[in-house]
Every structure is written in C-alpha cells, then in structure tokens.
Amino acid sequence: MSQRLGARAVLFGSAVLLVAAFAVGAVSGAYAISLSQLWNVLTSLGQGAGSQSPEHLVFLNIRLPRLVLGVAAGAGLGMAGTLMQGLFRNPLADPGLIGISSGAALAAGITIVLGASFWPMLPRTLGSWTLVLMAFGGGFVVTLLIYGLSRSEGGTRMALMLLAGIAINALAGAGLGLLSVMATDEQLRSLQFWLLGSLGGARWSAVILVGVAVLLSCWAAASLASPLNAIALGEAQAALLGVDVERTKRRAVVITAVAVGAVTATTGIIGFIGLIAPHWVRMVAGPDHRIVLPASALLGAALVLAADTVARTVMAPAELPLGVLTAFIGVPMFLLMLRHFRGRI
C-alpha cells in the first residue's frame, strides 16, 4: 500500500459503501418486510395513494425517514468533522470541540428536566418540537459564544478557540451534572438516552429540515476545500497564498454549527462519526480536502446507517442507543485502520 488510492476510487468506494448500507438498512428491521413486498411498496409509489398495507405504512412512514435521517446525520457529522480537523489542523478535533454538542445537550437537559416547570406554555405550543428547537438554539448560542471568546486583535486565534471550547464544554458538563441532581428517575433516563443518540424520532417533517440544512451546509463547505488545503500549510502561508483566513474560519464555524446543530437537535448526540470518518478517508486518500470533504460525508452516512441498522434489529422489538453502536462498530474498525496505516498519521 505505498501508492495512495486515486481520488475517484475513494469517492466511488465511499459511495458504494453508502448505497450498500442503505440497501441493507432498507430490507432489515424489526417488522418483517420481504423483498417482494418492498418491491410492491416502491412500485406503487408512482401510482399515488394506492393500497395502504401495513408494510407500506411501516416502510414509508417509519423506516424510510429513518434511513434518510441517518444519511443526513452521518453526512453532516462526517463533513463537519473534516472542517474542524482542517481548521484546527489537529487530528483530535471534532464538531464537539466548538461547543455544539455540549450546548445542545445542556439545552436539551434544561428542557427535559426543567421544561415543564419553567415554561409550561412552551411544550404546549411547540409540542414535540420544543426539544429540537431548544437543542438547536443551545448548540448555536454556545458555538457563537466560543467563537466570540476566541476573537482577538489579530483575528480569531485557534488556540484560544480550542481553550475556550474546552472551558465552555466543561461548564456545560457541570450544568448537566446539576440538572441530573434535580432530575427525577424518568427524566434522568430520558436525558441519558438523548446523550446516546437515536434516529428513532425520525418523521418526515424533521427529516426534511435536517436534510435541507445538511445539503446546504455541504454545498457551502465545498467552497472551503481549497482554502483549507492552504491553511494546512499554516495560517500565514495561507494568507500569503491569497486565502481570506478569517472568512474561512467564520464560514467553517457557521457551517458546522448549522449542520451538526440540526442533526444533534433531532437525534441527540451521535459520537465518533465526526472524528473517525475524516481520518479514515485521509488514511486511504491523503489530505486533499477536495476529496476528504465529500468522501467523509459519504463514509459518515454509511457508518451511521450501518450502526443504526444494528441498533434497531439486534434487540428487536426493543432497540439499542445509536451512540453505543457507533462506538462499538466504528472504533474497532478505526483501530484496525490505524494499525494498517500507522505510517501515515
């Protein structure tokens, strides 16, 4: 393996993995849907509202939105992870570093534990959207706060952002600890499940919103590939090469906040994807962000779909939290890759 695989081969390979994960996910689940029934469901789509068999309802209203949400979530996390690692020039960076996950978690915790007593009106008017909106808002506000803290005369300093991020994350962790003391047993378990992530809440309205947010973010991120390649040489060199470093940072932070914020708000915290997908791609394809960005998005989506398929089948009719499986499946594979490509880290 001295020769790095061609860019096209890596993109093609990730896309094939994603399609395979989607296909396996589509035919497996607690509710038995045979291939012929699935074919019936798919062929009847074009003919408007035909038969509404249970298979039809289960596939179109439950399984399919879940698969699409999995694709959006994985793509958003993989892409954002690449942006963060490129921006911080640090292999440990992931979207959680700039406070999105902890901000969202804190807001979700506040909503779960105190929501009913603080704002009795809120759940009634917003219904099941309360948690989603609060989590998205929480992630966004905390990210802006960390971004604001890292500003100095010379512009945004990444070392400051890193430290501010770690500090604010610790603060959010303390807030969650405080909430867990105030929480009842049931609230505590709800919060715990939220922190482990799940695609179980997938409904079309939310899936479409997240899908649009991730698509727009990926589209916007595409223009950052070349600036990030330049930043990899160092911020000063990038500036000499004519890259607007400040603008790149600002955009990367906002794109990450939108994509990961939307994903996290609907699924809870899905760990490891943002960290391992970009590394995985870089180990095989090299550091060019024009390849790493799209390939990480594809690979992240494939990983989330694979993990979720296991999550919803292995204990059926109950299911496992997704975050447990992204770690259980992703980490051993990642460690194998590390051994195999240890010369390239």
Partner 1 sequence: MTEQRDLSFLSSSSVPRRRDALRLLSAAALGAGAWPAFAQDSKRLPRLVTVSGAITEVVYALGAEGQLVGTDTTSLFPAAARATPKVGYMRQLSAEGLLSLKPDAIIATNESGPTVVLDQIRTAGVKVEIIEADHSWGEVQRKVQAVGRAAAKEVQARELQARLDAEWAQVLQRIGGAKGRKPKVLFVLSHSASPQVSGEKTAAHAVIGFAGGVNALGGFNGYRPMTAEAMASAAPDIILTSTQSIEAHGGVERFWQRSELALTPAYKKRALITQDALLLLGFGPRLPAAIGELHDKFRAALA
Which residues would be at the binding site for partner 1 (CB under 8 A)? 29-32, 51, 53-54, 57-58, 61-63, 127-128, 181, 184-186, 189-190, 193, 198, 200-203, 312, 315-319, 321
Are 330 and 302 in contact by the 8 Å Cβ rule? The answer is no
Longest Cα separation, the chain = 65
Estimate the crossing angle of helix 100-118 against helix 129-149, to 10 degrees.
130
Q: Which residue has the tokens 């993989």?
A: 78
CB of 128 to partner 1, least distance (A): 5
Both structure tokens of 99 = 């406070």
Between 10 and 310, whose beta carbon lies closer to partner 1?
Answer: 310
User: What does the block give as tokens for 326?
Assistant: 């992204």
Cβ-based neighbours of 175, under 8 Å, separated by 6 or more: 106, 109, 110
Q: Tell me which DSSP letter residue 62 carries.
A: I
Task: Write the DSSP assignment of 7-59 as a string of letters.
Answer: HHHHHHHHHHHHHHHHHHHHH-SSS---HHHHHHHHHTSTTSS----HHHHII
Residue closer to partner 1 by CB (options 58, 213) is 58
Quote the least distance from Cβ 156 to partner 1, whole Å: 38
| DSSP tag of 68 | H
Least distance from partner 1 to the Cβ atom of residue 36, Å: 14
Nearer to partner 1, 129 or 341 (CB): 129
Kindly state the smallest distance separating residue 180's Cβ from partner 1, in Å.
10
CB 129, min distance to partner 1, A: 10
Least spacing, CB of residue 25 vs partner 1, in Å: 12
- 54: cis peptide before it, omega within 30°? no
User: Which of 268, 256, 265, 162 has the alpha carbon at shortest distance from 217?
Assistant: 256
Nearer to partner 1, 16 or 178 (CB): 178
CB closer to partner 1 out of 88 and 194: 194
Residue with Cβ nearer partner 1 (202 or 230)? 202
Nearer to partner 1, 67 or 106 (CB): 67
As measured in angstroms, the least distance from the Cβ of 262 to partner 1 is 16
Alpha helices (runs of H) in 120-268, residue ranges in sequence order = 121-126, 129-149, 158-182, 185-196, 204-222, 225-231, 235-240, 245-267
Nearer to partner 1, 37 or 226 (CB): 37
Kindly state the smallest distance separating residue 54's Cβ from partner 1, in Å. Answer: 5
- Which of left, alpha, beta for 74 (phi over 0: left; psi -120 to 50: alpha)? alpha
In contact, 309 and 26? CB cutoff 8 Å = no
Find the distance separating the first CA and the last CA of the chain, reported in whole Å. 14
Which residue, 12 or 204, is less far from partner 1 as judged by CB? 204
Q: How far apart are CA 136 and CA 101, in angstroms?
A: 9
As measured in angstroms, the least distance from the Cβ of 169 to partner 1 is 24
Asked if 172 and 157 count as a contact pair (C-beta separation under 8 A), the reply is no
